[in-house]
Amino acid sequence: ANAVEFHSVTRQFGDSTHPVTALADVSFAIPRGSVFGVLGESGAGKSTLLRMMNGLDHPTEGRVLVGGTDLATLTQKQLNRMRHKIGVVFQAFNLVGNLTVTQNVALPLKLQKLKDPQKVEDMINFVGLGHRAGHYPAQLSGGEKQRVAIARALVTSPLLLLCDEPTSALDTHTTGEILDLLRSTRDRFGTTIVLVTHELDAVKAICDQAAIFETGHLKDIVSVNASHAES
């Protein structure tokens, strides 16, 4: 089964005199439990693609299926419920500055009026920040902040983890550590991971497959790292 399917998806912005085609007739599938790269330069359509997987934007033409469900058929309430099963990690970490690591990680549960201190602690330990649980974001390095963001994204046991340029603000060494953590996430929890990046090295490091985009067009889908994926 596929975690995500795009069927002939086109997304246009602007009006008929000045149309901007962000995505042009894009079709692909992301197998459940895989790490899938979305590679392209600025303006390739990557952000638009990611927003569609999260139901924040919709195709002008075509269909987007997440977990087998066409997002266009969902009510706002159903869409919100589905979004609870999608984790998102951003380039700029997006942590809440006046909350501790523990409070940041607990936030998605709190927003759903849930409480699970054990799960929060487990996720903080999983990302290797047990010794930083009481710290505030300003006291953490960039890599540590991104670990917190990953723990926060995982605390609701998402089926799908969307990562938008998660290593673009990090140095090479830290980038490697964060990519390893994403790979471990998939291996440990079976989470389907979408890694949006302009960095070919990131794709080579952890992806099973990658879709290569140029100005809204899907140029190629390549298998990467296939041997690695089994180990």
Amino acid at 42: S
CB atoms under 10 Å from CB of 8, counted, come to 12
Cα(219)–Cα(94) distance, integer angstroms? 31
How big is the site for ligand ADP, counted in residues (CB under 6 A)? 12
Structure tokens, 41: 């330069």
Residue numbers 86-125 binding ligand ADP by CB under 6 A: none
Amino acid at 113: K
First vs last C-alpha separation in the chain: 21
Q: Are 213 and 38 in contact (CB under 8 A)?
A: yes
Structure tokens, 4: 């995500």
Q: CB of residue 90 vs ligand ADP: minimum separation in angstroms? A: 7
Q: CB of residue 166 vs ligand ADP: minimum separation in angstroms? A: 12
Q: Closest CB to ligand ADP among 47 and 174?
A: 47
Selected binder of ligand ADP within 30, 37, 48, 155 (CB under 6 A): 48
Q: CB of residue 71 vs ligand ADP: minimum separation in angstroms? A: 17
Annotate each residue in 18-47 with x if it binds ligand ADP (CB under 6 A) or - if it does not, as one string: --x-x-----------------x-xxxxxx
Q: Closest CB to ligand ADP among 13 and 134?
A: 13
Cα(112)–Cα(65) distance, integer angstroms? 24
CB atoms under 10 Å from CB of 126, counted, come to 19
Is 134 one of the binding residues for ligand ADP (CB under 6 A)?
A: no
Q: CB of residue 175 vs ligand ADP: minimum separation in angstroms? A: 18
Q: CB of residue 47 vs ligand ADP: minimum separation in angstroms? A: 3
Please tell me whether residue 175 adopts helix, strand or coil conformation.
helix
Of the candidates 91, 93, 88, which has an alpha carbon nearest to the alpha carbon of residue 154? 88
Annotate each residue in 163-182 with x if it binds ligand ADP (CB under 6 A) or - if it does not, as one string: -x------------------
Cβ neighbors of 227 (< 8 A, separation 6 or more) are none
Selected binder of ligand ADP within 8, 13, 31, 171 (CB under 6 A): 13
Q: CB of residue 53 vs ligand ADP: minimum separation in angstroms? A: 12
The residue ranges that bind ligand ADP (CB under 6 A) are: 13, 20, 22, 40, 42-48, 164
